[in-house]
Structure formats: structure tokens, C-alpha cells
Amino acid sequence: MPSRRQFLALVAALPAVLATPGSALGAPQDEAGPGWDESDVAVLRGFLAAVFGPGSERTDAIEALTASLSWLDDERKPLVAALPAIFDQASRVLVPTLAAFHTLRPEEQAAAVANWSASSLGFRRQIFNALRTLLLAHAYADPVTWEAIGYPGPWLGRIDLPAHPLRFGAVIPGTP
């Protein structure tokens, strides 16, 4: 648990880290897409692998997320598009490795994601949950990740439901 002085030093350093070249602040947003560079996509892939485990590299959740960002209004699109860069840049300061998330080995990325998810700092958990929710929503639609997230698939065709005609006003045998 960091001391109050360490926490204040971290909070004071965070804007400087986020304002570095290539960070989420001040990065121009592409009109057609979210403006992600290779490191942002690497953050999303690493995060997806850490959350969903093996097999997540076969999903098209990141491409689906990129496509759905085009539906957002101009006010919210930059905020959502900046999440991977904020996660990456803040990992330099807020994770014990002091390295950008996208440069970590897969086991270090998994440890960093676990660190973010269990953080005592609310804004870290908010960023973690925002990324997790966005990726989960898009991975949920992809059959490749259904087993990893515990979803057995659509019930239509999987469960045989007998069709019974409804007869309103009819008395069901065995009921009072």
C-alpha cells in the first residue's frame, strides 16, 4: 500500500506521463477510425489475452470495437479511443515494472492487468473496467471466445423447447 506522499507524487506525475509524445492527450483522432497506433492495438491484444487467456488472439473483438467506435458521437469517441493509450502510459508509472504495458512479456501483462483490477486507486479500477467491458462486449459476440468467457452460445438450437399451445381460461390438470 503506497503512502500518502507516494500517492500524491504518482498523481502529480501522471499528467506529465500522459502528455508525453505518443500519449493519449493531444494525439490527433482519425476521422474514419479511433486513431490507434500499433502500440494501442498491442495494448488491446495484451489486455485481451490477459483477461480471456489462450485463444483470444483468434478473436476479431478489436476489429469489432474499432468498427463500433465509428457509431459514437464526436464527444465520446476520443475518450473511448484514448483508453488503450492511457492504460499503456499509466502502466509506466503505476505498475511495479515501470515499463509500457505493450512492451511487457505476456506473463507480466497478466500480472499488470491483475494489479489494475485489484488496485486500491479508484481511477485505475475504472480504466480497467472500461477496457474490460468494451472488450468483453465485443468478444461476447465472437464464437471464438465463448468458451473462455463461459458463454455456451445462443440457446436457440442448443436447447429443445417443446411448443405447447396456449389455451387461456383452460384449467391445468392437478392445479387447485
- pLDDT, one tens digit for every residue, the chain (176 residues): 445 554 444 444 444 444 444 444 444 444 445 678 888 889 999 998 888 777 777 778 888 888 888 888 888 888 888 888 888 888 887 766 678 888 888 888 898 899 889 988 888 889 899 889 988 888 777 787 777 777 787 777 667 766 666 667 666 666 66
Domain assignment present for 15: yes
Range of the domain at 33: 4-149
Domain assignment present for 161: no
Domain assignment present for 160: no
Domain assignment present for 109: yes
Domain assignment present for 24: yes
Please report, for residues 56, 84, 94, 131, the alpha-carbon distance to residue 79 in angstroms, rounded to integers and kept in the order given: 25, 10, 20, 12
Domain assignment present for 172: no
Q: How many domains does the chain have?
A: 1
Domain assignment present for 117: yes
Q: Where are the alpha helices (DSSP H) in the chain?
A: 4-18, 38-52, 61-69, 77-81, 83-94, 106-117, 122-140, 146-149
Domain assignment present for 174: no
